[in-house]
Amino acid sequence: MTHALGAILLAGGRATRVDGAAKPLFDVGGHTLLSAAVQAAADAGAHPLTVVAPVLDEALSVTWVREDPPFSGPAAATVAALASWPAGDDPDWTLLLACDLPSIGAAVRRLVDDIVLLPSDTDGLCLGDASSRPQWLIGVYRTSALRAAASTLPHGGADASMRALLDDLAITVVSVPGDLTRDVDTWQDLEEARVRAGAASAHPPHPATEEPS
């Protein structure tokens, strides 16, 4: 059975700006960034759901793969994930997501809502910051186009950039509020994300007030 949506979650970087800590396991708002990403993809109905990283949390219902060689970049990680999927059973679309995004749930909902609006000749979309700079790893792409692009990279994409992987595809960039694309790169980013999560928890949105009949 071909599924409408799959997901590749990238969680295996070196994280040099946080002293090599496992960023996907940072707790923000009572859950890890990795578990939040997995939940967002699962809520969107993604299958297969593949995490490219060493096994970080055995409790998660995902498939784990690793790029070869390790730490050879997100393009190589994408190639490795695609290679692990059964031939001839690709989903129509693939979420491609970094696992250091505190607002991953809202970002995925925006992506999934917007793909139905894409013209048939568009290969995908990604979110962009206020200047419309594409955030390639907050995106959703036609799996056939992603596979075709991956096949052109030498050495399994090792040390290739995401631009090298995606630059020839017809991708729509959607500018969104900064909260949807803000990631955790530094210890300060982590602290700020925790403060925002705490504020959101302390002040949840008010439920809609029913009009009297």
Instruction: Supply the CATH number for residue 63's domain.
Output: 3.90.550.10
In this structure, is the dihedral angle defined by the CA atoms of residues 100, 36, 193 and 103, taken in order, positive or negative?
positive
In a domain, 203, yes or no: no
Per residue of the chain (213 residues), what is the pLDDT tens digit?
A: 446 999 999 998 888 899 999 999 999 999 999 999 999 999 999 999 999 999 999 999 999 999 989 999 999 999 999 999 987 889 999 999 999 999 999 999 999 999 999 999 999 999 998 788 999 999 999 999 999 999 999 999 999 999 999 989 999 999 999 999 999 999 999 999 999 998 776 545 444 433 333
pLDDT given for residue 11 in this prediction: 96
Q: How many domains would you assign to the chain?
A: 1
pTM: 0.90
State the residue range of the domain holding 112: 5-198
In a domain, 213, yes or no: no
In a domain, 26, yes or no: yes
CB distance 37 to 124 below 8 Å? no
Beta bridge partners of 175: 128
In a domain, 209, yes or no: no
In a domain, 211, yes or no: no
Distance of CA 146 to the CA centre of its chain: 14
Cα R_g (the chain), whole angstroms: 17
Q: Whose CA is closest to 53, among 75, 21, 81, 30?
A: 81
30: left (phi over 0), alpha (psi -120 to 50) or beta: left
Euclidean distance between CA atoms 144 and 105, whole angstroms:
25
Contacts of 174 (CB under 8 A, 6+ apart): 110, 114, 125, 126, 127, 128
In a domain, 208, yes or no: no
Beta bridge partners of 174: 127
In this structure, is the dihedral angle defined by the CA atoms of residues 63, 97, 32 and 14, taken in order, positive or negative?
positive
Measured N-to-C along each axis, helices 104-115 and 33-43 cross at an angle, to the nearest 10 degrees, of: 30
pLDDT given for residue 200 in this prediction: 73
Contacts of 50 (CB under 8 A, 6+ apart): 6, 7, 8, 9, 62, 63, 64, 65, 81, 84, 85
Question: In 3-state terms, the chain is what percent helix, strand and coil (to 5)?
Answer: 35, 20, 45
In a domain, 34, yes or no: yes
In a domain, 116, yes or no: yes
Distance of CA 195 to the CA centre of its chain: 22
